[in-house]
Structure 1
Amino acid sequence: MLSLSSTIDLQGMCFTLFVCWSPDSTRILSASADKSAKLWDADTKQLVTKFELGSSIEDQQLSCLWQGEHMLTVSLSGYINYLDKNNPSTPARVIKGHNKNITAMTLSQSSKTVYSAGLDNKLLNWDVETGDCVETKGKGHTNMVNGMSMTGSTITSVGVDDQIRFQDAEKKEFMAETIGLDAQPLSVDTVGDKMAIGTDGEVSLYSGNTKVFSEKVGYRVNSLCFNPSGSQLAIGGGDSKVHIFDVLASDLKEVTQLTNNDPVDAVKFSPDGEHLACSSGKKAFLWKVDGYMPVSTYWSGHVGRIITLSWSPDSKRFATGGVDSSLRIWALANINSGECIKGAHPKATIVSISWLDDNTVVSAAHDKCVKVWTV
């Protein structure tokens, strides 16, 4: 039995936000805005145990539940705490996740770890096999994360705070070094020691963490992607074109443009480097990199704008997702049809897709969820 309390504990000078009974009705568990939970004896009205659950604003406790042997509380951060009567200062388990929209994702195929970030500024590390989640330690972004890319054991992220930040994936912590930007970044990609950053009207090339090239362009850089060797860079532009650049040591040289009917939101080279796919409006387009000849007119099936796409490691299929909440899988061997998972993230925009292996797709969306699919 649960009951909501709006009273103020004047003696403790704290707001008791929620209380619940133990199954045998002899104890009461309370959750409070003072970042603690308390266990009370129902008969004597005396405090039995106080659980300290942190010191930050996000550690305020909003609700509680006593289910069987388990006592749980929910923090303002959205984390769920399993209380431990034998160790009141440390929860037995904390279930973590995003409490605001996810806006970016990348993954490590070797460690089977997914990295997601969003409007809550947090960068979370998900173990695909267990579902366990760990928050990246250290000073991260102070605003929404717009893009992420992983090379080796380093995760590069860009945010609305106009910063490039780096995470050590093995230590699960942010590195001290950051790079400030002159404008809000919209996209990022890395390969080897190269990094490309796109903004609304500018593209920059970095060698290591040193900017070696920057150029104003007359379009919004919605997305960008290096080919596997890092010798070319494709840019999906707000001008409804895919711009192809040769990547030199300290320069970008545009070599061709591929015209579409709508702004290009996503662009990806296949892992074998033989194909380039892009999304434009509700359609997906595909070219052979050799001469950039179209493979077909277009592939269609989404009923809303495609936001993201990703290739399988064997380069035989690619996946698309977007505002219609659906996930579609397209096979090069059969360009006339595609497998569809309707409502993959119900009523939510899918913002990022990655392949864990040739038969496993990971998707992230505005419903604050990361999902793993066998396809």
Structure 2
Amino acid sequence: MDGILSGYGSEEEAIQQTGDVKPTTTIGRTETNQRTAGLGSDPEDEIDDINGDVFGIKESLSNQPKSEPNPSNIIDRQIITTVPHVIPAIDQSSSTSLILRPSDTEMNVNVKYSDMILPKQGPKNPFTSRKLEKMNTLNGHIEEEYINEVDFDRQQRTFHVLKYAKNPSIISSTSENPALNFVGDVHSAFKNEGMLASEMKITKAMQKKVKRKREDKGELGVFDEEEEEEEAGEDGAPRPPTKSREYKGPWAGWQDEHLEPVGPDEEEYEAAKRASTSSSIVKKQATEKGQGKREVAYGEEKSTLHAKSLHDYQGRTYMHVPTDLDVDLLSSEPPSECFLPKRCIHTWMGHTKAVSAIRLFPESGHLLLSASMDSRIKLWDVYHDGKCLRTFMGHSKAVRDVTFSNDGKQFLSAGYDRQIKLWNTETGHCVQAFSNGKIPYCVKLHPDQDKQHIFLAGMSDKKIVQYDMRSGEITQEYDQHLGPVNTITFVDENRRFVTTSDDKTMRAWDFDIPVVIKYIAEPAMHSMPAVSIHPNNKWLAMQSLDNQVLIYSADSFKQNRKKRFAGHTIAGYACEVGFSPDGKFLSSGDGSGSMVFWDWKSCRILKRLKCHDQVIISHSWLPHETSKLVTASWDGLIKLWD
């Protein structure tokens, strides 16, 4: 097999290294050399010979060596190979062959892939798996190595602290070239004798070098300004600056400390000032053009009655609860059993933009109030004709939230025009307007009958403000949140309320006391922009923005880890959560316009109902029906399902 190596080298090396090869092969190679020498020094002949097998690879790779027939002595010999075909280990330092060395950067011979997968030395073990074929790839060489995790962490820490580490390619330290034992800052490695960061001990000299010194505190009662006013020298030249003796006390800086001001330079400041001035001028011009058309001041609100007359033949208005139905709307008991809706039975169309919230008339649910992004609020009939009864126009921008009073005679509306307005449901007049200059995100009247003149509003300035309608002023502020307040929910017989915010926290408060009694914030929590309470008033269902509905206790405010409702995608929308009147089903809209229904006990998804083309932002179950549901979407439609 030494013939393989000789084939990669020159002719002379082949003769020297294969001195002990069988005579048949040697004679053939010698005669070939003689024939080559006899051709003369013609360069064309040399080129023809080079185009042949100049390295003898074809001849040496054959299993049976070829021999030239000798005319004087023709002997046929049969060669029996008892050693497997391997690449033997040779002395790379004494050889000038073309086989790659560890220090070479180029390969002058294209070695066959079959030779690359051969064992380096010794017979092949038939009991081992053929890993060499898998490890040699077209893009490089793969090696399986094991590194102790503790040693790796120690070396990594040493490299980050001392800027050097042991060379992972070398198993043990070599004395021939110590520079190869480390990677990174080799000089620091020699200086520290290759110690790890955990083995280093800080000396006193290093402590003195590391420890910074403070500047002199100065003398009490001395100011540098007095020294600067001293006269100059005799020659008129200013005196050299003397050491400051002004009293600095504990505020003295550190030695060799250079504090540079951070901020825009004079040119950047002037450019920013010009840009802000131009933008303010443009905004002022736009305001002057359209402000009179958009703003609706208090007293300028109006409403439109869409019915023929406000009263019927008996003198009753639409506020009267109908009694000519097969459902008792005056009953205080919910249905004994509810079912999931299947089909759409009515569609209310009237809003030109997305619907942001819908609210049913308290107790009876025979009227429906809807707020829209078109700055209008509409009142709809649910049971008789299903028509629009009245349109309230008093906001200049989109309406964010609406809420009824306990008797339904009045309702509050909150808009992006920073206004909160109190409306009369029957006459359509705006009774009162409230504003503190911030955008109200949610509004909630106090549920107690004797506190119907008080309402809470979650504002964009991270506060919950409490208004008294009788005086029209703010009587209390709750300002512990770190983001805009999204929801307000009363619990514990209306003595407490829970708020959620964009700061991904939930806080519980005692009414009229601006101190948090329960603060819930976990690293895995997301913002919960929609909250609903269970019909039994024991659980709070919160829509989390990580596509799940979480359940919290209404008394202890602890999360019920056994109940988790997932499987829908709200895509960042504040989709409201609802409960069936009997509390057996939990429902929520999703970002694709479908309603998802879960079983309250098992938390399994029971049904998906495609209702709208866009996100279902709000929905409500009719309180006295077994399977009727109202949905509102950003497509501007409101639908009734049964």
Q: TM-score range by the shorter chain?
A: 0.5 to 0.7
Give the direction of change, closer, same or farther, for the CA distance of 1:236–1:141 in structure 2 (3 Å limit).
same
| AA partner of residue 345 (structure 1) | H
For residues 205 and 98 of structure 1, the distance between their equivalents in structure 2, rounded to whole angstroms, comes to: 31
Matched, 1:344 2:344: no
Give the direction of change, closer, same or farther, for the CA distance of 1:276–1:111 in structure 2 (3 Å limit).
closer
TM-score, with length taken from structure 2:
0.40
Matched, 1:256 2:522: no
CA displacement at 1:96 relative to structure 2: 6.2
Report 1:96-111 matches (<5 A): 97-108=350-361, 109-111=363-365
Query: What runs of 5+ residues in structure 1 fail to find an aligned partner?
Result: 1-56, 58-79, 81-94
Matched, 1:196 2:463: no
Alpha-carbon contact 1:96-1:134 (below 8 Å) kept: no
Instruction: Determine helix, strand or coil for the equivalent of 2:351.
Output: coil
For residues 280 and 204 of structure 1, the distance between their equivalents in structure 2, rounded to whole angstroms, comes to: 24
Q: What corresponds to 1:131 in structure 2?
A: 386
Q: What corresponds to 1:158 in structure 2?
A: 414
Q: What corresponds to 2:536 in structure 1?
A: 272
Q: What corresponds to 1:218 in structure 2?
A: 482
For residues 620 and 473 of structure 2, the distance between their equivalents in structure 1, rounded to whole angstroms, comes to: 28
Q: What corresponds to 2:426 in structure 1?
A: 170
CA displacement at 1:210 relative to structure 2: 4.3
For residues 549 and 603 of structure 2, the distance between their equivalents in structure 1, rounded to whole angstroms, comes to: 11
CA displacement at 1:182 relative to structure 2: 2.0
For residues 313 and 279 of structure 1, the distance between their equivalents in structure 2, rounded to whole angstroms, comes to: 19
Alpha-carbon contact 1:140-1:174 (below 8 Å) kept: no
Alpha-carbon contact 1:325-1:350 (below 8 Å) kept: yes
| AA partner of residue 377 (structure 2) | L
For residues 214 and 238 of structure 1, the distance between their equivalents in structure 2, rounded to whole angstroms, comes to: 18
Q: What corresponds to 1:364 in structure 2?
A: 632
Instruction: Determine helix, strand or coil for the equivalent of 1:170.
Output: coil
Alpha-carbon contact 1:234-1:267 (below 8 Å) kept: no
Moved more, 323-332 or 360-369: 323-332
Q: What corresponds to 1:290 in structure 2?
A: 555
CA displacement at 1:267 relative to structure 2: 1.2
Instruction: Determine helix, strand or coil for the equivalent of 1:307.
Output: coil
Residues paired across the two proteins, number: 276
Higher share of residues assigned strand: 1
Q: What corresponds to 2:401 in structure 1?
A: 147
Q: What corresponds to 1:300 in structure 2?
A: 566
Alpha-carbon contact 2:564-2:603 (below 8 Å) kept: no
Alpha-carbon contact 1:302-1:324 (below 8 Å) kept: no
- Residues 137-179 of structure 1 show CA distances to partners (whole Å, capped at 9, x for unaligned) of 5x511110011111222211100111111222233x1323111
For residues 286 and 319 of structure 1, the distance between their equivalents in structure 2, rounded to whole angstroms, comes to: 13
TM-score, with length taken from structure 1:
0.67
| AA partner of residue 397 (structure 2) | N
Q: What corresponds to 1:23 in structure 2?
A: none
Higher share of residues assigned helix: 2
Report 1:25-40 matches (<5 A): none
| AA partner of residue 376 (structure 2) | K
For residues 290 and 274 of structure 1, the distance between their equivalents in structure 2, rounded to whole angstroms, comes to: 7
Instruction: Determine helix, strand or coil for the equivalent of 2:570.
Output: coil
- Residues 77-115 of structure 1 show CA distances to partners (whole Å, capped at 9, x for unaligned) of xxx9xxxxxxxxxxxxxx961111111221115151111
Matched, 1:236 2:506: no
CA displacement at 1:252 relative to structure 2: 3.6
CA displacement at 1:360 relative to structure 2: 2.2
Q: What corresponds to 1:48 in structure 2?
A: none
CA displacement at 1:280 relative to structure 2: 0.7
For residues 319 and 223 of structure 1, the distance between their equivalents in structure 2, rounded to whole angstroms, comes to: 18
| AA partner of residue 112 (structure 1) | H
For residues 412 and 492 of structure 2, the distance between their equivalents in structure 1, rounded to whole angstroms, comes to: 17
| AA partner of residue 106 (structure 1) | R
For residues 400 and 492 of structure 2, the distance between their equivalents in structure 1, rounded to whole angstroms, comes to: 22
Instruction: Determine helix, strand or coil for the equivalent of 1:177.
Output: strand
Matched, 1:318 2:581: no
For residues 622 and 444 of structure 2, the distance between their equivalents in structure 1, rounded to whole angstroms, comes to: 18
Identical amino acids, percent of aligned pairs:
22
Give the direction of change, closer, same or farther, for the CA distance of 1:339–1:181 in structure 2 (3 Å limit).
farther
For residues 514 and 620 of structure 2, the distance between their equivalents in structure 1, rounded to whole angstroms, comes to: 27
CA displacement at 1:329 relative to structure 2: 2.4
Give the direction of change, closer, same or farther, for the CA distance of 1:302–1:293 in structure 2 (3 Å limit).
same
Q: CA RMSD in A?
A: 2.5
| AA partner of residue 356 (structure 2) | T
- Residues 180-239 of structure 1 show CA distances to partners (whole Å, capped at 9, x for unaligned) of 232011111222324211122111123445422113331221222223732221112112
For residues 251 and 141 of structure 1, the distance between their equivalents in structure 2, rounded to whole angstroms, comes to: 32
Q: What corresponds to 2:14 in structure 1?
A: none
Instruction: Determine helix, strand or coil for the equivalent of 1:262.
Output: coil
Give the direction of change, closer, same or farther, for the CA distance of 1:170–1:225 in structure 2 (3 Å limit).
same
Larger radius of gyration: 2
For residues 268 and 258 of structure 1, the distance between their equivalents in structure 2, rounded to whole angstroms, comes to: 17
Alpha-carbon contact 1:312-1:355 (below 8 Å) kept: yes
Alpha-carbon contact 2:351-2:637 (below 8 Å) kept: yes
| AA partner of residue 339 (structure 1) | K
